[in-house]
């Protein structure tokens, strides 16, 4: 087993050879999206554990898909998959090369693009989350890039108590996606 797996790989004595999950095409996601779809957009998020947790949050709170940037993202699929805890099997992922162009495409498809930024004056709970929503989250540390902020319809903040000025992307994604689902009404458990 140790010869088959990379050094320091965590396993329980079982290995399975699989093909990589094929990314979906953005236009196909938009075409199939409901009138109340939520798409999570991660702007150059690089930590595979945070991306995996964000995928799991997206699946748990009923998002339609997740968009990742092709560059300045992660290729650590095994770590991402482990953190996602099964969400890779149910959450479509589209990788895009130009996030500004992608936000324009989403806007043209009636998505309201809402970015989470520490410096925003509007609070998350004041955002209008009706209809189609693209929730844009920035990278760890640097947050949303300047151009990404420019392409958002609205920037909102997630207020925290001093001295903590921000929380990590995995936690912020959970809070933001929960707020969207809370505003939209009770979630129905899927069996």
What tens digit of pLDDT does each residue of 71-80 get? 766 555 666 6
Q: Is 0.95 topped by the overall pTM?
A: no
| Cα–Cα–Cα angle for 172, 173, 177, rounded to 5 degrees | 120
How do residues 99-108 score in pLDDT, each as one tens digit? 999 999 999 9
Lowest mean pLDDT among 15-24, 68-77, 114-123: 68-77
pLDDT in tens, 122-131: 999 989 898 9
User: CA–CA separation, 63 vs 95, rounded Å?
Assistant: 16
Q: How confident is the model at residue 189 (pLDDT cuts 50, 70, 90)?
A: very low
Q: Which of 2-16, 77-91, 124-138 holds the top average pLDDT?
A: 124-138
Burial class of residue 127 in the structure, from the number of CB atoms within 10 Å of its CB (0-12 exposed, 13-18 middle, 19+ buried): buried
User: Are the CB atoms for 172 and 139 separated by under 8 Å?
Assistant: no
Three-state DSSP class for 144?
Answer: coil
CA distance 100 to 114: 13
All structural domains of the chain, each given as residue ranges with its CATH number in brackets, are: 26-184 (3.40.1280.10)
Q: What is the pLDDT of residue 30?
A: 95
């Amino acid at each position: 087993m140790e010869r088959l797996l990379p050094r320091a790989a965590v396993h329980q004595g079982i290995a399975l050879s699989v093909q990589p999950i094929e990314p979906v095409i953005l236009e196909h996601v938009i075409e199939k999206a409901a009138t109340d779809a939520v798409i999570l957009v991660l702007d150059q998020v690089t930590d595979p554990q945070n991306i995996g947790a964000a995928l799991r949050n997206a699946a748990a709170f009923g998002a339609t898909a997740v968009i990742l940037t092709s560059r300045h993202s992660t290729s650590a699929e095994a770590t991402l998959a482990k953190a996602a805890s099964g969400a890779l099997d149910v959450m479509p992922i589209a990788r895009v090369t130009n996030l500004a162009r992608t936000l324009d495409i989403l806007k043209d498809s009636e998505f309201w693009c809402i970015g989470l930024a520490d410096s925003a004056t509007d609070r998350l709970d004041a955002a209008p989350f009706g209809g189609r929503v693209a929730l844009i989250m920035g990278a760890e540390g640097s947050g949303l890039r300047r151009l990404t902020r420019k392409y958002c319809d609205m920037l909102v903040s997630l207020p925290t108590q001093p001295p903590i000025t921000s929380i990590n992307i995995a936690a912020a994604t959970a809070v933001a996606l929960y707020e969207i689902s809370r505003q939209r009404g009770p979630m129905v458990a899927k069996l």
